[in-house]
Structure 1
Amino acid sequence: MDGMQAEATTPLLTIDGARATIRLNRPAVHNRIEPPDLLKLLEHFETIEADPAIRVVILTGTGKSFSSGYHLGDMANRPDAEVTAADGGPSFESVGTALENLKVPVICRLNGGVYGGSTDFALCCDFRIGTEQAEMFMPAARIGLHYYPAGMKRYVSRLGLNAAKKLFLTAEKIFASEMLAIGYLTEVVSADQLDARVDALATRIASLAPLAVQGVKRSLNEIARQDFDEAGAIERARASQKSEDLREGLTAFREKRAPVFKGR
């Protein structure tokens, strides 16, 4: 899986039934995120949002690294590149927020190291499965950068204040065991088990009632950001109680069979 599409391109999107896979594809520069990649990622997100058959997304990279973060050359030319859109393209921060807000769950397949801004892209995902060789660091202080607000909020809400301070204020590299301990990684597996574990999790998520999964994902993210729309959550709960999927789930439970959900 990691050796596909060695030639550098903007991120690739493949769709297989209920599963969409987005692959960062600049392996020679450790899948560095460049301005054209941000625009392409938004295009892929729009495709995913418009397809009701998609129930889970996998985000990964080609080669030995997940991603080395945002292109430092663009930051040198445009010091506000992470938080300010370029002509004809979005900001890094806005693309991360769009990734976090995708309606379907996203699994980050961490095929290797993750660095800089891409550590936040991984935090935008709902699950992060990495190998025993995984490593990460946040170099913002080392290069003189005050990080953008949405990324800091995700660090604190996902990892806690102490872990966020260590990563931001020391710029030290940490490895798989510590990434798991602070909650950065959801799971750690051996390299030869990475694809099987990601596939199993994606299959499991895709088998569940999509309206319920998507609604609960939205509510949990709102709670994490401390902007919980309780009235909206109540409306989503009421809609789920009236759905065909709930009737199917209850019937399947009584009949001791696997439910077949249709997202309505």
Structure 2
Amino acid sequence: MPDALPPPNPALGTDKMLLRKEGGVGWMIFNNPERHNAVSMEMWVAAERILADFAADPAIRVVVVTGAGGKAFVSGADISKFESERSSKEAVDAYQVQTAKVYDALADFTKPTVAAIRGHCIGGGSALAVCCDMRICTERSSFGIPAAKLGLGYPLKGIRRLVEIVGPSFAKELFFTAKRFSAEDARVMGLVNRVVPDDALEATIGDYASTIAGNAPLTVDSVKAIVREALKPEPDEALCARLVAECFASEDYIEGRRAFMEKRPPQFQGR
């Protein structure tokens, strides 16, 4: 993880969302620690811009999503903004449309995404984490979806993403009880890939991100797309076959073979 937070980027329109790029890794950092990284409308808008920037940058091969301050990943919507941002049907609809844009952009992102979770991962934070390919958390992290305590409804897409990860029974438990679950609970459910000691998150995320960024992008991205197709009742087999063929026809395939024979790290270019 970054040793220090990057300075605010004026192009994002808010200092509550930060963008950082290093070593092929793009970092999207929710920076509202005084409110446990609760998310406002302006933060969702900025998040959409950050993801678009990463998607358009060929140097970025993996994206890490995390929260600042050490106490929370994302704790959900910023309730202090409800009166100004979600007090009317029109405002609620606009908020829902914007959050859906970010969730969809992250879930459909063509490059690998990793959620680095420390502390609370609640409500919209859980929904955000579920949109990532992998989730790695600390032992003291906690998870919950308190919709049933707030009278909120969750759309099909969000529930489907959760069900694909934890299965229908655990998805129902999360929603029905609205309880707070521990990191170990999340691991048992399959909600997170790894639980690491509190002081090991930075090193673990750094290792995972750099390893993924150093692997062949065409292979990694093709597997991500093919896994998505594998979950569909009727996968696009022609697309999957084309992605595999593109890997074998790439310069990276040649580089990978040569590097193996020469016993050196490969230098993949994504072509």
TM-score, shorter chain, exceeding 0.5: yes
Mark the CA change 1:219 to 1:81 in structure 2 (over 3 Å): closer, same or farther: farther
Instruction: From 157, 168, 181, give the equivalent of 1:174.
Output: 181
2:87 pairs with one of 77, 89, 95: 77
Distance 2:121 2:233 in 1: 27
Structure 2 unmatched ranges of 5 or more: 9-13
**Aligned counterpart, 2:258:** 251
1:195-229: CA deviation from partner (whole Å, max 9, x where unpaired) = 00000001110111001111111221233355632
**TM-score after normalising by structure 1:** 0.91
Match of 1:9 in 2: 15
- Taking the aligned partners of 2:202 and 2:28, their CA distance within structure 1 comes to 14
SS in 2 for 1:114: strand
Alignment correspondent of 2:115: 108
1 or 2, which has the higher helix percentage?
2
- Percent of matched pairs sharing the same residue: 34
CA contact (8 A) 1:6 1:62 kept: no
Q: Aligned match of 2:210 in 190, 198, 203? A: 203
Deviation at 1:76, TM superposition (A): 4.3
SS at 2:39 equivalent: coil
Q: What is the letter of the counterpart of residue 94 of structure 2?
A: A
Question: Are 1:216 and 2:223 matched, yes or no?
Answer: yes
The separation in 2 between residues aligned to 1:60 and 1:152, in whole angstroms, is 22
Q: Secondary structure at the match of 1:258?
A: coil
Q: Displacement of 1:3 after TM fit?
A: 7.7
- Could you tell me which of 145, 157, 175 is aligned with 2:152? 145
Q: How far apart, CA to CA, are the structure 1 residues paired with 2:63 and 2:111?
A: 7
Aligned with 2:48 (options 39, 42, 46)? 42
The answer as to 2:212 corresponding to 1:236 is no
For residues 51-70 of structure 1, what are the structure 2 equivalents within 5 Å?
51-63=57-69, 64-70=71-77
Give the stretch that moved more between structures: 186-195 or 71-80.
71-80
Deviations 1:224-257 (A, max 9, x none): 3556322111111111111001111122222222
SS at match of 1:219: helix
Two-structure CA RMSD over aligned residues (Å): 2.3
Q: Distance in 2 between matches of 1:3 and 1:259?
A: 30
* TM alignment of 1:89-128, pairs within 5 A: 90-128=97-135
Partner of 1:189: 196
The 1-side partners of 2:179 and 2:168 are apart by 16
CA contact (8 A) 2:217 2:268 kept: yes
Question: d(CA) in 2 for partners of 1:146 and 1:119?
Answer: 15
CA contact (8 A) 2:6 2:20 kept: no
Query: SS at 1:91's partner residue?
Result: helix
Gaps of 5+ in 1: none
For this pair of structures, how many residues does the alignment match? 261
TM-score by length of 2: 0.89
Q: CA deviation at 1:59?
A: 0.6
> Which range moved further: 221-230 or 171-180?
221-230
Aligned to 1:107, the other structure's residue is in SS state strand
Closer/same/farther in 2, CA of residues 79 and 260 from structure 1, 3 Å limit: same
3-state secondary structure, aligned to 2:114: strand
1:164 aligns with 2:171: yes
